[in-house]
């Protein structure tokens, strides 16, 4: 009996220490000058907003979330995404979705991203939360911060980092639903429309005292597994998208450089998601992967048919045995491991096309 009691005491102490560690990790004690993280964008940054309204663009079913959270959270990944890692490096808790009903803690930041979202209002209107609406939601948060926590807490807004992944759906959606939309413009004219909408939102945040902006450039959408699967030239990248991607990334950088010169205190970082993913697709073994082109989860050529159960039809799909060997988890989104590699690079300053890395933006 005596030995049992010692074991019980040891187990109790161990469990208690684990509980304390877990709680402190979830809600770190931060100095008053901490920099919150506000997140905007599409499915690359979505953490569950789409769970709370009627849309088929959700990831709230298995196998999403299986390798880290052990349950689906709404993230289009087997685990975490780039903002989750950046929050960890910045000593912040996981940033919750804006629409989460029990979320009343805004001082660390909020995630407004919505799968399927675009910078343009017309992009999947009615089935997702577009970037302009995300800006409106952010403005609601600024009012809430001032009302509940006072002007002192609202002073965190200039210290905050505003993190974006947006634009890919603005090119993909019209291409597959009504190509004539793109045909009405030259490549540069259409890119200017998309960039103009992004610029409007960035300026809107600046007007609410936002100063530190981090953006991903447009990734290689021509080579996503589901885009490859739709290409008449089976398995090849769909090069019709390539001119848009190149022009978008060049124009995004130019616009932000202009804003930096024009707006007092404006700082920005552009992370080269395009080159990062291209290298891992083309040379997977160099970065510790086995498969760079096909999806771990999906069906058809390259796992490119976008179905993983849930509200998608058909529901049958194949799932790889070792997700850590794959660059893509599903037909359009990378794996937890890829996101972690990218987050480490942009935090430290690699894969950055501008003077500021993510760490520098938080140290202001």
Catalytic residues: 43, 330, 333
Question: Exposed (0-12), middle (13-18) or buried (19+): which is 256, by Cβ within 10 Å?
Answer: buried
Strand positions, DSSP E, the chain? 37-41, 161-165, 212-216, 267-271, 291-295, 297-298, 318-319, 326-328
Give the count of beta carbons closer than 10 Å to the beta carbon of residue 88: 17
- H/E stretch holding 342: helix 336-348
Find the length of the chain: 364
d(CA 69, CA 64): 9
- Contact yes or no for 83/95 (Cβ under 8 A): yes
- The string of DSSP letters for 62-122 reads TTTTTTTTSS--S-SSSS--HHHHHHHHTT-PPPPBTT-TT----TT--B---TT--SSTT
- Contact yes or no for 213/266 (Cβ under 8 A): yes
- The string of DSSP letters for 163-195 reads EEE--HHHHHHHHHH-THHHHTS-HHHHHHHHH
Q: In the chain, count of helices (H) and strands (E)?
A: 12, 8
């Amino acid at each position: 009996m005596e030995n049992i009691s010692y074991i019980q005491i040891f187990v109790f102490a161990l469990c208690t220490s684990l509980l304390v560690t877990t709680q402190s990790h979830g809600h770190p004690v931060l100095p008053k000058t901490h920099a919150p993280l506000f997140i905007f964008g599409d499915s690359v940054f979505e953490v569950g907003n789409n769970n709370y309204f009627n849309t088929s663009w959700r990831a709230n079913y298995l196998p999403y979330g299986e390798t880290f959270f052990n349950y689906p959270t709404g993230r289009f990944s087997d685990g975490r995404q780039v903002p989750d890692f950046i929050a960890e490096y910045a000593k912040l808790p996981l940033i919750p979705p804006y629409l989460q009903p029990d979320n009343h803690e805004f001082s660390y930041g909020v995630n407004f991203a919505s799968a399927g979202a675009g910078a343009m209002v017309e992009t999947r209107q009615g089935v997702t939360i577009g970037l302009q609406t995300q800006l409106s939601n952010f403005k609601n948060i600024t009012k809430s911060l001032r009302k509940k926590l006072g002007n002192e807490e609202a002073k965190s807004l200039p210290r905050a980092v505003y993190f974006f992944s947006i634009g890919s759906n603005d090119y993909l959606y019209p291409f597959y639903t009504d190509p004539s939309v793109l045909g009405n413009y030259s490549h540069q004219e259409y890119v200017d429309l998309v960039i103009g909408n992004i610029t409007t939102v960035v300026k809107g945040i600046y007007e609410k005292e936002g100063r530190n902006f981090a953006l991903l450039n447009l990734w290689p959408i021509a080579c996503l597994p589901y885009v490859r699967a739709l290409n008449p030239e089976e398995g090849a990248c769909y090069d019709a998208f390539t001119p848009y991607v190149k022009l978008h990334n060049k124009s995004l950088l130019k616009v932000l450089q202009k804003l930096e010169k024009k707006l007092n205190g404006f700082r920005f970082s552009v992370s080269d998601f395009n080159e990062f993913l291209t290298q891992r697709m083309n040379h997977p073994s160099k970065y510790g992967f086995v498969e760079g082109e096909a999806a771990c989860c999906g069906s058809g050529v390259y796992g490119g048919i976008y179905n993983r159960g849930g509200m998608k039809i058909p529901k049958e799909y194949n799932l790889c045995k070792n997700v850590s060997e794959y660059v893509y988890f599903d037909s359009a989104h990378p794996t937890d491991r890829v996101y972690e590699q990218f987050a480490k690079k942009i935090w430290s300053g690699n894969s950055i096309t501008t003077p500021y890395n993510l760490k520098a933006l938080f140290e202001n």
